[in-house]
Amino acid sequence: MPESGSMVIIIGDGLGDWPVPDLADETPLEAAPTPNLDRLALEGENGLMDPIAPGIRAGSDTAHLAILGFDPYQYYTGRGPFEALGIGMDVRRGDICFRVNFATVDADLRVTDRRAGRITNGTAQLAAVLNGLEHDGCTFLFKESVAHRAALIIRGSRLGAGVSDADPHVEGASPLIAHGEDDASRRTAELVNWFVMRSHALLRDHPVNQEREARGLPQANIALPRGAGGAPDLPTFEEKYGITGAMVVEVGLVKGIGKYLGMEVIDVPEAHGDLTTDEIAMAKAVVDALTRHPFVLCNLKCPDVAGHDGDAQAKLQAVEKLDRLAGYVREHAAPNTYLAITGDHSTPVLAGDHTGEPLPLVIWGPHVRPDQVAACGERPAARGSLHRTRGTDLLKLLMSLTLRAEKFGA
């Protein structure tokens, strides 16, 4: 019997898209020059993948859980805990955690920029004035993440995770008043509402924001929590599959999932979560991780950023980065390595947000059965032999190809 192989899943975050008129009605993946992805499609098996289920607008958290084989309907408790753990915060049982955006509000407390101009400098100084706040017997732990992102932990007694978002998710609206589903969650919602207003009072005159205002940049003058959740009860990746795994990813959310699953989470200093990321540095980290683990997941964030920004040209550049990353891994990984290339959700540039279309999926390796697809893209993939599958099936397919799946029956 052949030796068991290794597995790599490379995810272009927000990869899927719609036809774009400015790209001759092709998607960015179809329009970009992608010689490496096209070769993988030509030599591999292709299909479409619904990360959760058809028509479900997946979040990056639920999609990654599914792609790793953990049904989010069973395991998902909210985004906050993954975000907090992923950026190195100490998440304890009983904590309520939130994903947070630094945002900009005007004098009437209307949100003018949900991402504060995608601020990249000074967030540590801003976070420092919010970290350690106390109110009504609870402590607020706050830490900056990549760009405008941050995480909040509320620690105390009688807390619940059934809390609505304070982030209105659109510009032009005021921060939402958080509400709770039960007594403990209502207490937590009141704490969230206090924190939002306190953050504005502390941030609006902060030296970092005074400097940004002088430079004509949006102030990061409020913190808007969302995605409340308590620590989930998850088996480790090794407990589920009997093998170890690693992650080479850029953002705290996915790092947090990896840490919860007991995977090795590898930091790449040259990976910044945007178009400045060195994709070859990430690819080298993937190849190196394969010397220690039979499974590696890699997430390239910049396609999603471009989609949210509605920038088709930036998404083309992001797809080219994905192509170079995948090409390097294919060329330098061991011969018995299987690659799966897909996305975690669609973020069309014309929508500026996640949508529910399926993602193109390519599986390449030594014993796959090539089909008739000759190029990587949403519409070519629809003609492939994998047809249409779900995220929770992807690792099953790879485990079978690498002779690591247990037999069902005699």
Q: 183-226: per-residue pLDDT in tens?
A: 999 999 999 999 999 999 999 999 999 999 999 999 999 999 99
pLDDT of 195: 98
Query: Where in 201-263 does DSSP place strands (E)?
Result: 222-229, 245-248
CA distance 127 to 150: 8
**Domain span including residue 221:** 90-229
pLDDT at residue 4 is higher than 80: yes
pLDDT of 2: 64
pLDDT at residue 79 is higher than 90: no
* In-domain check, residue 410: no
* In-domain check, residue 355: yes
Q: What is the CATH number of the domain that holds 25?
A: 3.40.720.10
CA distance 131 to 195: 11
**Pair (283, 218) in one structural domain:** no
Average pLDDT (9-29) is 98
| Distances from the Cα of 374 to the Cα of 44, 285, 340, angstroms | 9, 29, 16
pLDDT of 216: 95
Query: For the chain, what percentages of helix, strand and coil (3-state, to nearest 5) are there?
Result: 35, 20, 45
Binned at pLDDT 50, 70 and 90, residue 353 comes out as very high
% residues pLDDT > 70 (the chain): 100
**Closest alpha carbon to 365 in 403, 405, 321:** 403
CA distance 87 to 302: 19
pLDDT of 1: 56
**Pair (216, 247) in one structural domain:** no
pLDDT of 78: 84
Could you tell me how far CA 200 lies from the centroid of its own chain? 27
Q: What is the largest CA-CA distance in the chain?
A: 72
pLDDT tens across 300-338, in order?
A: 999 999 999 999 999 999 999 999 999 999 999 999 999
* pTM value surpassing 0.75: yes
Average pLDDT (340-346) is 98
According to DSSP, the residues that pair with 9 across neighbouring strands are 297, 340
186 contacts 180 by C-beta, under 8 angstroms: yes
* In-domain check, residue 254: yes
**Pair (367, 253) in one structural domain:** yes
Q: Please tell me the total count of domains within the chain.
A: 2
According to DSSP, the residues that pair with 50 across neighbouring strands are 390
* DSSP state for residue 325 in the 8-state scheme: H
Binned at pLDDT 50, 70 and 90, residue 176 comes out as very high
More confident site: 129 or 80: 129
Binned at pLDDT 50, 70 and 90, residue 140 comes out as very high
pLDDT at residue 150 is higher than 70: yes
CA distance 166 to 150: 14
The SS3 call for residue 128 is helix
Binned at pLDDT 50, 70 and 90, residue 231 comes out as confident
Give the number of other CB atoms < 10 A from CB of residue 2. 9
Average pLDDT (119-132) is 96
Mean pLDDT across the chain? 96
Of the three residues 229, 255, 281, the one that is the final residue of a domain is 229
Point out the least confidently predicted range of 230-239, 260-269, 304-313, 319-328: 230-239
**Pair (299, 347) in one structural domain:** yes
pLDDT at residue 73 is higher than 60: yes
